[in-house]
Homo-oligomer: A and B are copies of this chain.
């Protein structure tokens, strides 16, 4: 019987899951609301019901479970769910182990995406790369020698919080001037608002309130030649390239992959980012360092990332078995 893993993405609003083969084919998709009455106990019950539904529908053997979650910790299997009614930190893996005697692995969504890109996406041929997610914030996962760099506490790869300007923009982390306050969908919007204040030139973006303006509006304006929007992308790409050059000096990857909504802006982002990366990188490193867009299908990226965590664990176990056996 074919082997599959269950990939589970625990979003703030919706939990989605699928049965995923070794080559990334998704056989079944399930979804339910993450928040419901009864807190974490009720959630776990609903989750297991959905897995049972999946088992009934899919003619394959489930060999593992992978879970991606925004504040998931790989080392401890926990989710620190500030925005959920789960009463603080929960040990998700421990809870799920009570239902399923399978390898279960949990990680934050940026790390899951990094492993996803390595198994099914843009990084299939790489063993050393950095994955950057550009959504509301900036997340990252660093792959070295085909494995995630976790650090001693599972918290490595927080590139959204490296310093651009400690006297700069307020960050959700409580400090000022972190990279994600400049380079992210939200950072792009903040840059537009600074430019609207600084420049006097006309811009269609002057019609939007801060609340209403989205990265999508800014991309469209840039594509129509709006100078404020174009400059905002130049600044965003410049800072991204500058900080990626520093990241290269840490772990010397063979490529960098960008993922997330902002990546849809295409050349608007990649052109200044690539130029800045090349300009700022130490001469020792490959001046042609590939800066690539994600190759995961956007709608299924979260399921594929979560599933890849499980396949990655399977692979490690298998390697050990092969070496010992």
Contacts and interface: CB of A to CB of B under 8 A. Distances in A.
Interface of A: 126-128, 142, 144, 149-159, 161-163, 166, 173-175, 242, 245-247, 249-254, 280, 282-286, 320, 323-324
A253 B323 CA distance: 29
25 contacts: A126-B152, A142-B250, A142-B251, A149-B149, A150-B252, A151-B252, A152-B252, A153-B252, A154-B252, A156-B251, A156-B252, A157-B249, A157-B252, A158-B252, A158-B282, A159-B249, A161-B249, A163-B245, A166-B280, A173-B282, A174-B283, A246-B246, A250-B251, A323-B323, A323-B324
Contacts of A163: 242, 245-246, 280
A215 B250 CA distance: 27
B323 A158 contact: no
Contacts of A152: 126-128, 252-254
B155 A252 contact: yes
A153 B144 CA distance: 11
Given A173-B283, A286-B153, A324-B324, A162 B128 contact: no
A102 to B, nearest CB: 24
Nearest to A249: B158
Nearest to A325: B324
Given A142-B251, A156-B250, 6 more contacts: A142-B250, A150-B252, A153-B252, A153-B254, A158-B284, A163-B246
What is the predominant secondary structure among interface residues of chain A facing chain B? loop
Contacts of A246: 162-163, 246
Contact of A175 (B150, B159, B161, B282): B282
**Identical chains in the assembly:** 2
A158 B249 CA distance: 5
Given A173-B282, A280-B163, A324-B323, A250 B157 contact: yes
Contacts of A128: 151-152
A157 to B, nearest CB: 7
A253 B282 CA distance: 24
Nearest to A247: B250
A75 B283 CA distance: 18
A254 B128 CA distance: 22
A80 to B, nearest CB: 10
A187 to B, nearest CB: 17
Contacts of A127: 152
- Report the 6 A-B pairs with minimum CB-CB distance, sorted nearest first: A151-B252, A156-B252, A128-B152, A152-B254, A162-B246, A158-B249
B151 A253 contact: yes
A151 to B, nearest CB: 2
A153 B253 CA distance: 8
Nearest to A130: B250
A153 B289 CA distance: 12
Contacts of A154: 252
Most buried by B among A126, A284, A286, A323: A284
